[in-house]
Amino acid sequence: MMKIGTHFAYWNNTWAVDYIELCHRAKKCGLDVLEVGADHLLNLSDAQLEELRVTAKELGLEISANLGPPKNKDISDKDPAIRADGVKFLCDIMDQMVKIDCNILIGACYNHWPYDFVDIDKEALLDRAVECMKQVGDHADKLGITIALEILNRFESCMINTLDEGIAFCERVGKNSVKLLLDTFHMNIEEVEDIPTVLRRAGDWVKHVHVGEANRMLPGQGHMDWAAIGQALRDINYDGKVVMEPFLLTGGEVGPAIKVWRDLSGNADAEKMDEMMAKAVCVLRSNLNA
Ligand SMILES: [Mn+2]
């Protein structure tokens, strides 16, 4: 059964949030999953992690952990010390994830994000990231965690832009725990085939899905063919999380990072934001049969 979620930054334009409050808000909107910032888990005490685990469990919510590593923890970096720090950073995050029963780490874990495009020696970046990801994958295997590497569009990564590049990377890593995340926003920019065709071709490589309209508005607010996308996910027997990444708000830290330069929410207040989210959940449930 597919589970429907959202990225935590939907409601705010800051990365710093109260996840306990957002768990309740997610539940109110009818969501099954709250996607949190993976690195935030490093800043929470064991007591806070336990509170998050219990709150999510009581509300029937699952948690996924979304990561854009900082530049000084980039496992593709030329500097071996930075790569070693990056491997440790990813392993430390997974150790925290276990404490909240979270078993999926997603994002551009092979690089730093937002990428600065200073080093664009793609082959060398990939070679270094593959070697480090083998170590990270071993730790994930041990913990029962899946790492779903996000395929990003050209404006966010020079390493993995298409499904084929994602599969090639995972095959080189060769770990059961290291698979792919496909995101409709990035696929819409980079893939030659239509999105349902790419999903069908991806098959078992897909361990996490991000959904949003072409401009990252909520499903149902744009022109994506959600019925066809839902059918493709059923065709590959996808039973993981389908997580929205709606970015509608300008300003703060999130607006500039995501390049949201105009309000896409219709100047929504808190109540209206919840209403729009609840409506998008319905759009996905009906199209995904979730
Ligand atoms: Mn995404």
Kindly give the distance from the C-alpha atom of residue 288 to the centroid of ligand 1, in angstroms, as a whole number: 18
Kindly give the distance from the C-alpha atom of residue 195 to the centroid of ligand 1, in angstroms, as a whole number: 14
Tokens standing for residue 101: 């029963």
- DSSP element (H, E) containing 36: strand 33-37
**Residue 288 confidence (pLDDT):** 97
From first to last of its 290 residues, the chain has per-residue pLDDT tens of 999 999 999 999 999 899 999 999 999 999 999 999 999 999 999 999 999 999 999 999 999 999 999 999 999 999 999 999 999 999 999 999 999 999 999 999 999 999 999 999 999 999 999 999 999 999 999 999 999 999 999 999 999 999 999 999 999 999 999 999 999 999 999 999 999 999 999 999 999 999 999 999 999 999 999 999 999 999 999 999 999 999 999 999 999 999 999 999 999 999 999 999 999 999 999 999 98
Residues, Cβ < 5 Å to ion ligand 1: 183, 210, 245
Catalytic site positions: 150, 245
Kindly give the distance from the C-alpha atom of residue 226 to the centroid of ligand 1, in angstroms, as a whole number: 17
User: Which of 115, 149, 148 is CA-nearest to residue 257?
Assistant: 115
* Residue 154 near residue 191, CB atoms below 8 Å: no
Kindly give the distance from the C-alpha atom of residue 245 to the centroid of ligand 1, in angstroms, as a whole number: 6
Kindly give the distance from the C-alpha atom of residue 141 to the centroid of ligand 1, in angstroms, as a whole number: 23
User: For the chain, how far is it from start to end, CA to CA, in angstroms?
Assistant: 6
- Residues 103 and 140: their CA atoms lie apart, in Å, by 9
Q: Which CATH number fits domain 3-288: 3.20.20.150, 3.30.2320.30, 3.40.50.150, 3.20.20.60?
A: 3.20.20.150
Return the half-sphere exposure (C-beta side, CA atoms, 13 A cut-off) of residue 109: 37
* Residue 138 near residue 128, CB atoms below 8 Å: no
**Residue 244 confidence (pLDDT):** 98
**Residue 234 confidence (pLDDT):** 98
Kindly give the distance from the C-alpha atom of residue 210 to the centroid of ligand 1, in angstroms, as a whole number: 5
Domain boundaries, the chain: 3-288
- Residues 242 and 182: their CA atoms lie apart, in Å, by 10
User: Which of 272, 216, 280 is CA-nearest to residue 11?
Assistant: 272
**Residue 67 confidence (pLDDT):** 98
